Amino acid sequence: MAKKEAGTVKSGRDAILARIRKGLKPGGELERPSATRPAVDRASAGRRFIDKIKAVSATAAVVEDWSAVGEAIALYLHGSGRELRLSRAPHPELEAISWPDGMQVSVYQGTNQPDVGLSSAVAGVVETGSVVLVSGPETPTSLNFLSDAHIVVLPVRRLVLHLEDVWPRLRKRGIGRAVNIITGPSRSADVEQTLQLGAHGPRNLHVILVKSS
């Protein structure tokens, strides 16, 4: 019996290796399979991105420029019944935000679990409604996951149409030690197939698109 099973494993392995050899180019590289990417119109990219965000239980707002970001964040916090208080990443873009009266803003030190965290994204994927964040001194990864509500600021010019378009952009700017591609709030349906938001991270994700930056 053992001899017969060994022969079956070998024949299966030989079949797999034969398919790999068949797919190799003369230079030893694998032929890349052709893939049809979903058509995305650049002119309507912003609107489609917001639609995708809402489809994954996140929320979004659009502002004209950076001068309106602080007010937009305050409106979101007030509308969601939260205090006007947050912990922001130490990113230069976020340092320049003008905050309305009454806002309490602290710089995230990585030693606490804030109710609301504020980050800056390096890209947004129109195809999936995802935001892309990289780790670094100015963009601590823990802030993306420890906050109960996560607010992400994203200039419209950083939108890319498809997921694979992210990587050339990251290689150009520097990838960092970790890349987080976040699509909606944290969720899980592991327990009795009941969807729970905030299972492994923020319960709420709010994206602010900046049109002029």
What does pLDDT average to over the chain? 84
pLDDT 10s digits, 156-191: 999 999 999 999 989 888 777 899 999 988 555 455
pTM score, whole prediction: 0.77
pLDDT 10s digits, 26-65: 655 555 555 677 777 777 888 999 999 999 889 999 999 9
pLDDT 10s digits, 92-137: 999 999 999 999 999 998 878 899 999 999 999 999 999 999 999 9
Q: In whole angstroms, what is the distance from residue 165 CA to residue 42 CA?
A: 13
Residue pointed to by tokens 């309106």: 68
